[in-house]
């Protein structure tokens, strides 16, 4: 990994290591992948105006969020099925986040369990809930999150239905995998990945095994998870979860200012402005486009965060100037963990950290609190 100097280097190495069926799952969007491209494009088009003649020799990118001081304003977004790219990836990501002192959100469809996360990284781990059709399962999961010592619960709101991911359909990717023949043959050309695959059983959805029955196989658990997906998620559920969960409650996937205002009015602590990395609704705006309006609507009454298309440290600063308090990224640390396990995920975080530091100097900011609208054209 010595030659890796940016996130795109990690992406290229991950692409080489993974069979197309896996790489396409990470990389792909929905429909025509317009939203996917727009997320990165929004950052390319944004401009920031530097201030000079300021002593920037000492810089501090630490950031307070929900009463914790993190070393950088950038955390790891939830990404399901990470075990398919490297066995144990969820906890490797958690460990890298703990070592770098930034938050990690465990996906509701992770392979490792939230109890393992609580043991490994209680101060850095957040849990993302996908509600089940059976409300008792969701309520039990909330209880488990509390018992595991985790303090932030993230509710993803932008999956009202499975989306149309055509790369996955063509390759035969799904919770209960049925790879096409073409995908199987292509996988044989990736021996490192293949060896890992053959040495281990199929990955489980670790947070769901107990609900699928004690002797359920990985495929049976996956089928059970699919049978529990698609529960209608409404404001009533959010109110119910607010009553059940006394820790920080965050809604992920909010894109409309009125929804952010409504969330604040029922006691939600934060929103992650996100279009799920372009994976749900193709012609949604990019999160960066709607961020200023959302920040304006809720002001500092709630914590506004963002993810989607962040590939450079400077992007993190841009999002903060436009109203985000904290920023997340999903694919870059997935590339990292795929390529080099904990060290690879740490590398992705270190790349961002270094770029944030250099970019702060370039614009004349010594602290994250210096950033704001005054840097924008």
Element (DSSP H or E) covering residue 125: strand 125-129
Candidate ranges 168-176, 196-204, 256-264, 327-335; the one touching ligand FMN (CB under 6 A) = 327-335
Interface with ligand FMN (CB under 6 A), residue from 90, 289, 307, 370: 307
Interface with ligand FMN (CB under 6 A), residue from 29, 35, 270, 330: 330
Helix/strand/coil percentages in the chain, nearest 5: 50, 10, 40
Q: Known catalytic residue: 315?
A: no
Number of H helices, E strands in the chain: 16, 10
Q: Considering the rule CB under 6 A, would residue 308 count as an interface residue with ligand FMN?
A: yes
Q: Residue 132 and residue 233: Cα distance in Å, rounded?
A: 10
Q: Residue 349 and residue 182: Cα distance in Å, rounded?
A: 35
Tell me the three state secondary structure of residue 357. Answer: helix
Q: Considering the rule CB under 6 A, would residue 96 count as an interface residue with ligand FMN?
A: no
Q: Considering the rule CB under 6 A, would residue 89 count as an interface residue with ligand FMN?
A: no
Interface with ligand FMN (CB under 6 A), residue from 18, 310, 322, 339: 310
Return the residues of window 111-140 that contact ligand FMN according to CB under 6 A.
128
The CA-based angle 344-314-302, given to 5 degrees, is: 95
Interface with ligand FMN (CB under 6 A), residue from 73, 80, 285, 313: 80
Q: Residue 261 and residue 255: Cα distance in Å, rounded?
A: 11
Q: Exactly one of 276, 295, 315, 374 is catalytic; which is it?
A: 276
Q: Considering the rule CB under 6 A, would residue 203 count as an interface residue with ligand FMN?
A: no
In contact, 221 and 208? CB cutoff 8 Å: yes
Q: Give me the sign of the Cα torsion angle 254, 258, 259, 260.
A: positive
Closest CA to 316 of 18, 48, 25: 48
Q: Considering the rule CB under 6 A, would residue 156 count as an interface residue with ligand FMN?
A: yes
Give the tokens for residue 2: 């010595």
CB of 244 to ligand FMN, least distance (A): 19
CB of 315 to ligand FMN, least distance (A): 10
Return the residues of window 34-73 that contact ligand FMN according to CB under 6 A.
39
Residues binding ligand FMN: what is the number (CB under 6 A)?
A: 25
Return the residues of window 262-281 that contact ligand FMN according to CB under 6 A.
274, 276-277, 279
Q: Considering the rule CB under 6 A, would residue 304 count as an interface residue with ligand FMN?
A: no
The rounded Cα 90 to chain-centroid distance in angstroms is 12
Query: What are the Cα distances from residue 296, in Å, to 6, 172, 259, 320?
Result: 33, 43, 13, 13
Interface with ligand FMN (CB under 6 A), residue from 10, 65, 77, 150: 77
Give the tokens for residue 45: 């088009």
Nearer to ligand FMN, 109 or 225 (CB): 109
Interface residues toward ligand FMN, by CB under 6 A: 25-26, 39, 77-80, 107-109, 128, 156, 252, 274, 276-277, 279, 307-310, 329-331, 334
């Amino acid at each position: 990994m010595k030659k890796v100097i940016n996130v795109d280097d990690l992406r290229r190495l991950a692409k080489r290591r993974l069979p197309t069926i896996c790489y396409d799952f990470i990389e792909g969007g929905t429909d025509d992948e317009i939203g996917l491209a727009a997320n990165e494009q929004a950052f390319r088009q944004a401009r920031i105006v530097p201030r000079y003649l300021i002593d920037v020799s000492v810089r501090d990118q630490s950031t307070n969020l929900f009463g914790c001081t993190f070393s950088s304003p950038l955390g790891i977004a939830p990404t399901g099925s990470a075990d398919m790219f490297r066995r144990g990836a969820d906890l490797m990501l958690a460990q890298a986040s703990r070592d770098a002192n930034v938050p990690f959100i465990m996906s509701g469809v992770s392979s490792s369990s939230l109890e393992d996360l609580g043991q490994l990284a209680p101060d850095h781990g957040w849990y993302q809930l996908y509600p089940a059709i059976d409300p008792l399962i969701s309520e039990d999961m909330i209880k488990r999150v509390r018992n595991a010592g985790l303090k932030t619960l993230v509710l993803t709101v932008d999956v009202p239905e499975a989306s149309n991911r055509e790369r996955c359909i063509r390759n035969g990717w799904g919770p209960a995998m049925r790879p096409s023949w073409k995908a199987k043959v292509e996988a044989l050309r990736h021996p490192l990945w293949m060896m890992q695959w053959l040495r281990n059983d199929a990955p489980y959805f670790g947070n769901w095994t107990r609900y699928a029955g004690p002797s359920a196989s990985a495929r049976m658990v996956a089928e059970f998870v699919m049978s529990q997906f698609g529960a209608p998620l409404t404001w009533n559920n959010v109110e119910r979860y607010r009553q059940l969960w006394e820790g920080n409650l965050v809604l992920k996937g909010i894109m409309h200012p009125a929804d952010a205002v409504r969330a604040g009015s029922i006691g939600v602590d934060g929103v992650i402005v996100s279009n799920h990395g372009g994976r749900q609704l193709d012609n949604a705006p990019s999160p960066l486009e709607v961020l200023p309006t959302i920040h304006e609507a809720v002001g500092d009454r709630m914590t506004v965060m963002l993810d989607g298309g962040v590939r450079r440290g400077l992007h993190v600063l841009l999002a903060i100037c436009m109203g985000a308090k904290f920023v997340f990224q999903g694919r870059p640390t997935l590339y990292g963990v795929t390529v080099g396990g904990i060290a690879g995920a740490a590398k992705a975080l270190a790349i961002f950290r270094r770029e944030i530091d250099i970019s702060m100097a370039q614009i004349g900011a010594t602290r994250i609190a210096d950033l704001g609208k005054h840097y924008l054209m």
